[in-house]
């Protein structure tokens, strides 16, 4: 069922890291063992940097916990038997309950080819509208805000290397020193302003740290913009020439005077003034947002408030300045462009757009009316599983929702109520361990495919090593299941990419001019790239924004409290995040010995004053309870966290038993970053 390997290779293969959206370049080298070295020809890490996770990524390829045989109810079976069983059960469930009784859940780490094929499989082979992916928990609020402001969502609408030439960079809710350490090298020149409730390693490096109470980032952004207006720092010529809607926003700011914002956020007025004046005085400046301000039930409005701030200062669409969002997962950008999101078709098209449906249906060779409409968003999909009128079967690719979804105890109950749970994975994750059928699949260096990094740069991961015997690619699994359901799907990555190019043509994320040959010839190609001779678009907003009139749109927003505030029973805020050694749900990194040694277990971080009041000492096991569940972990005492807040990393099963599934009304993002909890020393 599992196997470890030693590889004998005779050449060096250029590829990219299996983890975050920076997609650092690396080489897999020759010898009796796999060796990883950083590349210097990839702009994201041109200085030759890799983080601890990247340096140890080879252990993913030789780890003894790899799955190598399909499992049926926990027992090894032949591939044909497992595929036949799944196809038969899918047919039975669809015949009895209808196509929407089958659901698909994808991942932001899947290659573009897999994300595209998964969306096609759901809508053509299964005929279901019930497909979404874990990227909904990552980028959805920033994507929604970017689309309504700029008409297009591309995480960084400029090359990451542009940041090095800035004078000031504001990072709101982004702890890049731990989440993507090589990114920090692009910030060595600018003065950094960091907005974060914790004094993270990124905040400790910053020129200025603004430390708001969890759930108050929106009020802080409104206060900063109020100061820009009050102190006469608006770039009036830019606002008049390149934007619309500012007067309504200007009027809406009247009540957000800085003293009021200080009372709400805890950020001193003088620090707000420092931040605003530094941004306004800078010749070149950037505003960047991350998960910390996005993973809220008001995340779209919070990002919008920071976008408004950037627009008032005249930053977006100017060479050397701008606004951007730091995509998290390896293919978080490409993963949301090509159809595995509930409301989208390839090319970042809307599934309810008749023209988009007609175009994609033509590529797929089906009638437009046969394509289903929008389905449920990620958490809503998971919460509907096994309920009356909800899906009876779920296929999971590249995700571990038992660890990553909010209110995870509730999600576990929903999974238990399914008639069929199928998981494709490299290892027996917490979700795979509960599956009826598990398919063992290839991973990053065992397969070829494209990824789109946080800049919108399409890159190529090359197959460098042979997969273990008995392992197949996700594309092969999907093609085999589709064939059993009466459809022919390509399974070769290059063939799939060529079809993706046709399907994306004319869309916002147009890949039609990008080929494997072009991507291989240099450090990737920026989309949109609408024809073979097109150079790609590293900075899409220099001349105009992607709105009908070419202007960026100001959108007025107002602060509101978190969906759940502390009270007598649950008097503290809980916020969650990452640690340097681990990635996402930890399914990969918690199996790599050096990373486990660096961060062996979860913890609860408390301020010394709070710990003293509760009688908790370092290392004590504490119980953290919310209205949804409880978790236990050792205490870590640190003044990096506020006195009214505790922090827990989310790489282990447990913390998301506590988090709040309250959803943003636009992006459907759950409120991961703040909920009310009670903390007690465990007896």
The mean pLDDT value for 6-27 works out to: 83
Return the C-alpha torsion angle 492, 496, 498, 501, nearest 10.
-160
pLDDT at 31: 67
Is the pLDDT reported for residue 26 higher than 70? yes
Strand partners, 632: 623
Q: 342: pLDDT confidence band, cut at 50, 70 and 90?
A: very high
**CA 148/CA 527 separation, integer angstroms:** 19
Q: Over 590-633, what HEC string results?
A: HHCHHHHHHCCCCCEEECHHHHHHHCCCCCCEEEEECCCCEEEE
Which token pair is 346?
């390839």
**Interstrand relation of 621-625 and 630-637 (parallel, antiparallel or unpaired):** antiparallel
- Dihedral sign (CA 528, 534, 538, 543): negative
Q: For residue 122, how far is the Cα from the chain centroid? A: 21
Is the pLDDT reported for residue 5 higher than 70? no
> Which residues are CB-neighbours of 119 under 8 A, at least 6 positions away?
106, 131, 338, 339, 340, 341, 344, 345, 346
Q: Long-range contacts made by residues 188-194, C-beta under 8 angstroms, separation at least 24?
A: 188/164, 189/164, 189/165, 190/163, 190/164, 190/166, 190/286, 191/167, 191/278, 192/168, 193/168, 193/169, 193/275, 193/278, 193/279, 194/170
- Cα–Cα distances (Å) from 683 to 423, 611, 632, 633, 645, in that order, read 38, 15, 11, 13, 22
Which string of DSSP letters, residue by residue, matches 439-484? EEB--GGGS-EEEE-TTSEEEEEPP-SPPPTT-B-HHHHHHHHHHH
**Interstrand relation of 420-425 and 437-440 (parallel, antiparallel or unpaired):** parallel
CATH number of 140-326: 3.40.228.10
Phi/psi of residue 264, each to 5°? -75, -45
Q: 327: pLDDT confidence band, cut at 50, 70 and 90?
A: confident
Which token pair is 682?
């465990």
Q: Are 501 and 511 in contact (CB under 8 A)?
A: yes
> Which residues are CB-neighbours of 353 under 8 A, at least 6 positions away?
none
Is the pLDDT reported for residue 152 higher than 70? yes
Percent of all residues in the chain with a pLDDT value above 90, rounded to a whole number? 93
Residue 42 is given by DSSP the state: S
For residue 158, the surrounding DSSP H or E stretch is: none
**CA 355/CA 368 separation, integer angstroms:** 9
Which token pair is 102?
């089958």
Q: What is the fold of 69-138+332-444+471-495?
A: Rossmann fold (3.40.50)
Strand partners, 572: 677
Residue 208, helix vs strand vs coil = strand
Q: 683: pLDDT confidence band, cut at 50, 70 and 90?
A: confident
**CA 28/CA 257 separation, integer angstroms:** 55
pLDDT at 63: 82
pLDDT at 62: 86
The mean pLDDT value for 200-217 works out to: 97
**CA 317/CA 374 separation, integer angstroms:** 32
**Interstrand relation of 630-637 and 670-671 (parallel, antiparallel or unpaired):** unpaired
Determine if residue 212 is left, alpha or beta; phi over 0 gives left, psi from -120 to 50 gives alpha, anything else beta: beta
Q: What is the pLDDT of residues 504-560, one digit of tens each?
A: 999 999 999 999 999 988 889 999 999 999 999 999 999 999 999 999 999 999 999
The mean pLDDT value for 661-666 works out to: 97
Strand partners, 605: 636, 647
The mean pLDDT value for 264-280 works out to: 98
Q: For residue 117, how far is the Cα from the chain centroid? A: 19
Tell me which residue of 10, 22, 46, 125 sits closest to 451, measured CA to CA. Answer: 22
Q: What is the pLDDT of residues 471-497, one digit of tens each?
A: 999 999 999 999 999 999 999 999 999
- Dihedral sign (CA 517, 523, 527, 528): negative
Which string of DSSP letters, residue by residue, matches 243-308? EE-HHHHHHHTTT--HHHHHHHH---HHHHHHHHHHHHH-SSEEEEE-HHHHSSTTHHHHHHHHHH
Q: What is the pLDDT of residues 494-505, one digit of tens each?
A: 999 999 999 999
Asked whether the domain spanning 69-138+332-444+471-495 has the same topology as the one spanning 2-62, the reply is no
3-state helix, strand, coil in the chain (%, to 5): 35, 20, 45
Cα atoms in the Cβ-side hemisphere of radius 13 Å centred on 593: 6
Q: 10: pLDDT confidence band, cut at 50, 70 and 90?
A: low
Q: Are 677 and 562 in contact (CB under 8 A)?
A: no
Tell me which residue of 71, 18, 4, 19 sits closest to 428, measured CA to CA. Answer: 71
Q: 30: pLDDT confidence band, cut at 50, 70 and 90?
A: low
pLDDT at 1: 41
Q: 328: pLDDT confidence band, cut at 50, 70 and 90?
A: confident
Q: Are 441 and 428 in contact (CB under 8 A)?
A: no
Q: Please provide the size of the chain in residues.
A: 683
Helices (H), 314-432: 332-335, 354-364, 378-384, 401-404, 408-416
**CA 365/CA 385 separation, integer angstroms:** 31
CATH number of 2-62: 2.20.25
Q: What is the fold of 572-681?
A: Barwin-like endoglucanases (2.40.40)
**CA 414/CA 408 separation, integer angstroms:** 10
Tell me which residue of 578, 453, 423, 538 sits closest to 53, measured CA to CA. Answer: 578
**CA 358/CA 218 separation, integer angstroms:** 40
Phi/psi of residue 552, each to 5°? -75, 150
Q: Are 167 and 174 in contact (CB under 8 A)?
A: no
Q: Are 23 and 35 in contact (CB under 8 A)?
A: no
User: Domain segments of the chain: what residues?
Assistant: 2-62, 69-138+332-444+471-495, 140-326, 572-681
Q: Long-range contacts made by residues 514-523, C-beta under 8 angstroms, separation at least 24?
A: 514/458, 516/450, 516/460, 519/450, 519/458, 519/459, 519/460, 520/460, 523/25, 523/41, 523/42, 523/43, 523/457, 523/459
**CA 548/CA 561 separation, integer angstroms:** 34
Residue 353, helix vs strand vs coil = coil
What is the residue whose two structure tokens read 């960079």? 169
Residue 123 is given by DSSP the state: I
Residue 427 is given by DSSP the state: B
The mean pLDDT value for 393-398 works out to: 97
What is the residue whose two structure tokens read 């196809």? 87
Q: What is the pLDDT of residues 401-439, one digit of tens each?
A: 999 999 999 999 999 999 999 999 999 999 999 999 999
Residue 125 is given by DSSP the state: I
> Which residues are CB-neighbours of 165 under 8 A, at least 6 positions away?
189, 284, 320
Is the pLDDT reported for residue 4 higher than 50? no
Q: 384: pLDDT confidence band, cut at 50, 70 and 90?
A: very high
Q: What is the pLDDT of residues 356-380, one digit of tens each?
A: 999 999 999 999 999 999 999 999 9
**CA 633/CA 627 separation, integer angstroms:** 18
């Amino acid at each position: 069922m599992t196997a470890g390997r030693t590889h004998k290779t005779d050449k060096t293969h250029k590829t990219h890291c299996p983890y975050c959206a920076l997609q650092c370049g690396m080489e897999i080298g020759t010898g009796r063992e796999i060796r990883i070295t950083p590349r210097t020809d990839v702009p994201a890490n041109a200085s030759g940097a890799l983080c601890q996770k990247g340096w140890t990524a080879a252990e993913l390829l030789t780890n003894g916990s790899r799955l190598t045989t399909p499992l049926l109810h926990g027992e090894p079976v032949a591939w044909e038997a497992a595929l036949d069983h799944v196809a038969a059960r899918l047919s039975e469930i669809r015949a009895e309950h209808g196509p929407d009784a089958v659901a698909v859940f994808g991942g932001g780490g899947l290659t573009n080819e897999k994300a595209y094929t998964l969306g096609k499989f759901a809508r053509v082979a299964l005929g279901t509208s019930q497909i979404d992916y874990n990227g909904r928990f990552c980028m959805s609020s920033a994507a929604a805000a970017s689309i309504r402001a700029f008409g297009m969502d591309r995480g960084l609408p400029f090359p990451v290397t542009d940041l090095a030439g800035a004078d000031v960079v504001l990072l709101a809710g982004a702890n890049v020193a731990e989440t993507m350490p090589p990114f920090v090298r692009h910030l060595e020149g600018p003065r950094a302003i960091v907005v974060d409730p914790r004094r993270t390693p990124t905040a400790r490096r910053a020129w200025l740290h603004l430390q708001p109470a969890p759930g108050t980032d929106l009020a802080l952004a409104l206060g900063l913009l109020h100061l820009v207006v009050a102190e006469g720092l608006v770039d009036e010529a830019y606002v008049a020439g390149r934007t619309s809607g500012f007067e309504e926003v200007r009027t809406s700011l009247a009540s957000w005077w800085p003293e009021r914002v200080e009372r709400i956020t805890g950020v001193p007025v003088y620090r707000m003034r420092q931040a605003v004046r530094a941004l306004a005085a800078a010749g070149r400046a950037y505003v960047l947002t991350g998960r910390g301000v996005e993973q809220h039930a008001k995340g779209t409005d919070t990002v919008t408030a920071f976008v408004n701030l950037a627009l008032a200062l005249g930053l977006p669409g100017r060479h050397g300045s701008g606004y951007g969002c730091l995509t998290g997962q390896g293919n978080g950008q490409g993963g949301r462009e090509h159809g595995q999101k509930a409301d989208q078709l390839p090319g970042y098209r809307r599934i309810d757009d008749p023209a988009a449906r007609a175009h994609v249906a033509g590529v797929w060779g089906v009638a437009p009316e046969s394509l289903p409409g929008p389905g449920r968003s990620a958490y809503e999909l998971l919460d509907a599983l096994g309920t009356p009128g909800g899906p009876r079967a779920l296929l999971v690719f590249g995700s571990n929702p038992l660890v990553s979804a909010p209110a995870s105890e509730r999600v576990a109950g929903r999974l238990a109520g399914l008639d069929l749970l199928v998981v494709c994975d490299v290892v027996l994750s917490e979700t795979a361990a509960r599956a009826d059928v598990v398919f063992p699949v290839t991973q990053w260096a065992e397969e070829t495919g494209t990824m789109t990094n946080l800049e919108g740069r399409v890159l190529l991961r090359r197959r460098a090593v042979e997969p273990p015997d008995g392992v197949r690619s996700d594309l092969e699994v999907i093609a085999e299941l589709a064939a059993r359901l009466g459809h022919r799907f390509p399974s070769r990555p290059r063939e799939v990419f060529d079809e993706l190019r046709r399907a994306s043509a004319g869309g916002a994320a147009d890949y039609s001019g990008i080929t494997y040959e072009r991507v291989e010839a240099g450090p990737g190609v920026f989309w949109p790239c609408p024809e073979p001779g097109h150079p790609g678009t590293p900075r899409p907003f220099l001349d105009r924004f992607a709105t009908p009139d070419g202007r960026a749109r100001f959108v007025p927003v107002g602060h509101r409290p978190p969906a759940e505030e502390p009270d007598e029973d649950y008097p503290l805020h809980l916020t969650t995040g990452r640690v340097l050694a681990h990635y996402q749900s930890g399914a990969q990194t918690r199996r790599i010995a050096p990373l486990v040694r660096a961060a062996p277990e979860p913890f609860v971080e408390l301020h010394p004053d709070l710990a003293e009041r509760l009688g908790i000492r370092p290392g004590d096991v504490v119980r953290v309870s919310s209205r949804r569940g409880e978790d236990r972990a050792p205490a870590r005492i640190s003044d990096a966290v506020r006195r009214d807040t505790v922090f827990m990393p989310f790489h282990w099963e447990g913390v998301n038993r506590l988090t709040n599934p309250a959803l943003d009304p636009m992006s459907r993002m759950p409120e991961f970053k703040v909920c009310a909890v009670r903390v007690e020393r465990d007896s």
